[in-house]
Amino acid sequence: MQRIRLRYTKRGRLRFTSHRDFQRAFERALRRAEVPMAYSAGFTPHPKVSYANAAPTGTGSEAEYLEIGLSAPRDPATLRELLDASMPDGLDITDAVEARTSGLADRLQASVWELRLDQVEPVAARAAVAAFEAAETVEVQRRTKNGMRTFDARAAVVALEVADAPDEPGDRPSARPCAILRLVVRHETPAVRPDDVLSGLRVVADLAPPVPAAVTRLAQGPFDDETGTVTDPLAPDREAVEAAPSEGAPHAAAQATTAVGPA
């Protein structure tokens, strides 16, 4: 079985699709593109598709990942083009690589998020960020299926800063203020999400945006402690392919078929 790892996006209005909605759209795309899928054994076989750390409903993303198992080898670049053409605009397949290593889910150690806070003055956002970073702990609450849970939103945050707002279309900038936050957060248990950080900013500085924040994941992958950056989780597979280009699909079939696991 050949394994292919894919990177995909959730853009524009498609950010409001749930993970289940994406699964249905992707399975339809697999059928349209006539991808030779490998199937699980058992009474109700299903295509071998594994998703890793999907973004919450309502957030955009430039860096979602999944893995598929094929019953016959295919060129990853060609497969990406076929699948991308079969997906709705906004759910875009942007990268594909043959899996030559295991542990994709384990590499997703941190995420980079962008939070757009419309009608929030950048100076107020900077003051709130400074208060958040100065705090040793920032306790927030989130409702779960087992009730309200209190946890620290500060420990998992590696970096938080106010970025320059993008230029607005037209000859003059928008009259409405807008603060853009860039957030790097480790994937820990319990998971700290962007909305938890926003709750933390409300706790430490009473920062409460009047409209919901527009949240986008810009990247997720291994975290480099030396540089403080999030790197490409598909890089090890690309390097393995480049190191042994002549081995092709037979080499991939010989690899252990370690599942990525659900988000």
Q: What are 77-105's pLDDT values in tens digits?
A: 999 999 999 999 999 999 999 999 999 99
Q: How confident is the model at residue 146 (pLDDT cuts 50, 70, 90)?
A: confident
Q: 210: helix, coil or strand?
A: coil
Contact 28, 47 (CB under 8 A): no
Confidence at 41, pLDDT banded by 50, 70, 90: confident
Please, what's the b/e burial string for 225-253 (b: 16 or more CB within 10 A of its CB; e: otherwise)? eeeebbbbbbebbbebbeeeeeeeeebbe
- Judge whether 155 and 188 are in contact, CB under 8 Å: yes
What pLDDT, on the 0 to 100 scale, is given for residue 30?
96
Direct distance between the N- and C-terminal alpha carbons of the chain, in angstroms, rounded to an integer:
23
Average pLDDT score over the chain: 89
> What number is the average pLDDT over the span 157-170?
79
Helices 19-32 & 76-86, crossing angle to 10 degrees? 110
Q: What percent of the chain has pLDDT over 70?
A: 89
